[in-house]
Chain A
Amino acid sequence: NAGVTQTPKFQVLKTGQSMTLQCAQDMNHNSMYWYRQDPGMGLRLIYYSASEGTTDKGEVPNGYNVSRLNKREFSLRLESAAPSQTSVYFCASTKPSDNQPQHFGDGTRLSIL
């Protein structure tokens, strides 16, 4: 039982390149999330998906797109990477009920030069 798996763990891009971050969970959770974490800022929600087939914007969606491919997988795409998107990206999943904690992946460290 792997929980939440993110790939890749590290990536360096040049400005303007595109990239997709992958996330998969094997806990049969309905809801999935993408966050970014910058120093001193805490985690900020980029997009989330309350269930298969739905996605919603979070606090900082600009410059990103998401796809909820199926119940297990939720990908995050940077179409044209910018240095301001250098960050650590975390994927998480949870059951849809109230008071349910989120389970996080190990994170993807992304640097854009």
Chain B
Amino acid sequence: RKEVEQDPGPFNVPEGATVAFNCTYSNSASQSFFWYRQDCRKEPKLLMSVYSSGNEDGRFTAQLNRASQYISLLIRDSKLSDSATYLCVVNRNNNDMRFGAGTRLTVKP
């Protein structure tokens, strides 16, 4: 079993839709959590950090449930430019990062 698991998708949604991605991690000692976005044939780029109380950045909302070892990302009012692969990332300790395989999102007109 992978240490960080994500639904690979693909998720195909119309513009304006709300879409949610889930991620689970197995190492209960994990310290910090992130969502990254990766465009085709490009490097991953930070989308947002995930805080215990949940946090929002514009149309994006991230939540963390430490008891269930579960992280989520909600995208509201999807745009065509949101089409990408979304990577769940867990910092085990001392910046030893583990990545999920990614969830692919396509937003269609």
Binding site for B on A (CB under 8 A): 31, 33, 35, 40-45, 48, 50, 56, 58-59, 90, 94, 96, 98-102, 104-107
Contact = CB atoms under 8 A, between A and B. Distances in A.
B95 interface: yes
A90 B42 CA distance: 10
B34 A106 contact: no
B87 A42 contact: yes
A24 B98 CA distance: 22
Contact of A101 (B42, B43, B46, B100): B46
Interface residues of B, number: 23
A94 to B, nearest CB: 6
A58 B44 CA distance: 18
Contact of B91 (A44, A90, A98): A98
B80 interface: no
Q: Which 4 A-B pairs have the closest CB atoms?
A: A42-B101, A104-B43, A101-B46, A43-B99
Nearest to B45: A104
A48 B96 contact: yes
B94 interface: yes
Interface string B85-105: 001010100111111111000
